[in-house]
Amino acid sequence: MATLAIGVMLAIWLSTVDIIEWLYVYSRQHAGLHLDELFSVLLVGGVVAVVILVLRDRDLRREVHCREVAERTAERLVRYDDITGLPNRRLLFEELNRRIVGARMHGSCFALFFLDLDRFKAVNESYGHGTGDDLLRAVAERLVLTLRPQDFVARLGGDEFAVVINASTEKHVEHHVARRILFSLARPFTVHGVRHEMSASIGITRFPDDADGPESLMRCADTAMYRAKSSGRNTFTTYDKAMEEISGQLRESLDKGLFHPFYQPVIDLKTGRVVGLEALARWDHPTKGILGPDAFIAVAEDSGLIEELFRQMLQQLSEHGKAWDPGLRIAVNISPYQFRDPKLSSRILQQIAAAGFSSQRLDVELTESALVIDVETTRQVISELKAQGVRVSLDDFGTGYSSLRYLRELPFDSIKIDRSFVQRIDSDSGSRKIIESIIDLSHALGYETVAEGVETREQATWLTEAGCDLAQGYLFSRPLPRDEIDTFLLATNAEPEG
Ligand code: C2E
Ligand code: CA
Ligand code: CA
């Protein structure tokens, strides 16, 4: 083949040389016609034309190639997520439509999972978006490895994923798969040398049982997911028709003013007197009676309703507080999510000032997770509040990830020892040692200590002897509605007779 090509090229070359030679001779013989110049022009023109054609052809090929690449990229961008490489929402909807047609044809069913990572925002905000993206990639990878090839995984955006699996009409395979996903995410992720604990809340819905189209399936899965969040995260919930939209209800109940503070007295262990009250939110649910925070705080946080809930709590406690002994401090819990708002302190101060409640009587309680979400904003909010006389307590101490550095750097007024330690006072010497060290540490830093969840006289006695300042718990009182507080105060704080 090569020899043939060389032969052909040689022949072309020889005949070209022959032609040029002949033209040369001819123009010499007819010098008067100036043919040599004409031939030179034609020759050069021909060569230039060939070069232009070759270049143009190369450009065209390049353009076609670029266009093909761009089309393929556009196709990817439209249907795939650029961070994880997983299918995106659009491809998920196409897949759902495809599965719906298939399921209708074969009388089969499938399940859709809506998966939302728990507290992912905290990672993003404290470690930056680079780490956040890497973590999302690692989660995507683990999901793909956990599922079977015929299952479908998509990223919907943010920290939300979706999974579609074939289900069976009798057996609930989806429960099994959901457990497997939660189990696989429970292994810590290491990103840039830092370990991250991840968990997810999963909402599950089935076709055709729950809904008949992609949009309605997504809505059901979303509702179920919020239910999973509100029941404590790191769990899954299957949609059931009777399940009302909890966040919708929450919003409605907030509009109707169905949230109220209950108050739990805080007792001075030395004198036995009530020195303060902690406001704890209760939902006066239209059908289910009085619900505690476990039923709604997580949903309120995830749906952005926590700010409004807090505003209503603060409004009511300001009103109630004005009627009680001005010596009583009233504590309110602030969700870690609220500390992302740099205006939090001015909002609080303005609101209580407008309600006529003194900032000197307010105590705000925050948990260590606020420090993980945004330590700088938290620090700023705390200092601004303290500058106006508001007290700041570190709640649930010992359960989170706060470092001793924060304890020293942030100007707290008191530390609340988590009830998990208090409740093991009688049985576990380790818990007693931890409590003693917390008391020593906080006194060394000038903080007051409050023991939470004191249920027995023995616990109270031991805590008093260990030097703990204040206590709260069922031993003294459960959280009470506003109108029962007066009676309690009257009975407990009455001046001794004589
Ligand atoms: P917390 O701030 O640690 O509140 C103390 C919790 O322990 C309350 O639960 C209280 O009822 C319970 N408790 C008090 N004494 C005892 C006891 O002796 N034994 C036992 N077993 N439990 C006791 P509650 O009212 O269910 O509140 C749970 C959590 O919900 C609170 O924990 C707080 O973190 C959160 N929370 C309550 N109200 C609000 C609010 O308005 N906003 C926010 N962001 N969170 C709130
Ligand atoms: Ca608290
Ligand atoms: Ca607590």
Same domain (yes/no): 216, 155: yes
54-106 per-position pLDDT tens digit: 999 999 999 988 888 888 878 778 899 999 999 999 999 999 999 999 999 99
Same domain (yes/no): 231, 264: no
Note whether residue 277 is domain-resident: yes
Same domain (yes/no): 150, 276: no
- What CATH number is given to the structural domain containing 395? 3.20.20.450
Same domain (yes/no): 203, 273: no
Contact between 247 and 299 under an 8 Å Cβ cutoff? The reply is yes
Give the mutation target among 333, 366, 457 for probing the ligand 1 site: most ligand atoms within 8 A of CB.
333
Residue 281 CB–ligand 1 contact under 6 Å: yes
Q: How many domains does the chain have?
A: 2
Whose alpha carbon is nearest atom 17 of ligand 1? 453
C-alpha of residue 268 to centroid of ligand 3, in Å: 17
pLDDT attached to residue 371: 72
Q: How far apart are the C-alpha atoms of 349 and 343, rounded to whole Å?
A: 10
Note whether residue 22 is domain-resident: no
**For the residues 214-243, what does the mean pLDDT come to?**
82
Same domain (yes/no): 272, 214: no
**177 falls in which pLDDT band (50, 70, 90)?**
very high
Our measurement of the distance from residue 479's CA atom to the centroid of its chain's CA atoms, rounded to an integer in Å, reads 31
**498 falls in which pLDDT band (50, 70, 90)?**
very low
Same domain (yes/no): 258, 221: no
Host domain of residue 185: 89-238
Residue 280 CB–ligand 1 contact under 6 Å: yes
pTM tops 0.95: no
Contact between 438 and 415 under an 8 Å Cβ cutoff? The reply is yes
Note whether residue 81 is domain-resident: no
Q: How far apart are the C-alpha atoms of 291 and 282, rounded to whole Å?
A: 6
Nearest alpha-carbon partner for 232 in 172, 153, 274, 295: 295
pLDDT attached to residue 75: 78
pLDDT above 90: percentage of residues in the chain? 65
Least confident of 42-46, 132-136, 180-184, 439-443: 42-46
**For the residues 439-461, what does the mean pLDDT come to?**
96
Ligand with the closest atom to the CA of 297:
1
Q: How far apart are the C-alpha atoms of 114 and 294, rounded to whole Å?
A: 22
Q: How far apart are the C-alpha atoms of 339 and 381, rounded to whole Å?
A: 7
**37 falls in which pLDDT band (50, 70, 90)?**
confident
Same domain (yes/no): 193, 267: no
Same domain (yes/no): 190, 264: no
* Structure tokens that stand for 204 in this block: 């599950």
15 vs 148, higher pLDDT: 148
Domain boundary among 238, 262, 282: 238
* Structure tokens that stand for 119 in this block: 């507290």
pLDDT attached to residue 242: 57
Least confident of 155-164, 231-240, 418-427: 231-240
Amino acid at 472: Q
pLDDT attached to residue 341: 87
**For the residues 408-419, what does the mean pLDDT come to?**
90
Note whether residue 103 is domain-resident: yes
Please list all protein residues whose beta carbon sits less than 5 angstroms from ligand 2, which is an ion: 333, 365, 395
pLDDT attached to residue 89: 95
Domain boundary among 205, 238, 271: 238
Same domain (yes/no): 366, 464: yes
Same domain (yes/no): 418, 327: yes
Atom of ligand 1 nearest to the CA of 367: 34
- What CATH number is given to the structural domain containing 113? 3.30.70.270
Give the mutation target among 278, 280, 294 for probing the ligand 1 site: most ligand atoms within 8 A of CB.
280
Same domain (yes/no): 295, 376: yes
Same domain (yes/no): 418, 472: yes
Contact between 200 and 181 under an 8 Å Cβ cutoff? The reply is yes
Average pLDDT, the chain: 90
Could you give the angle at which helices 173-186 and 129-146 cross, rounded to 10 degrees?
140
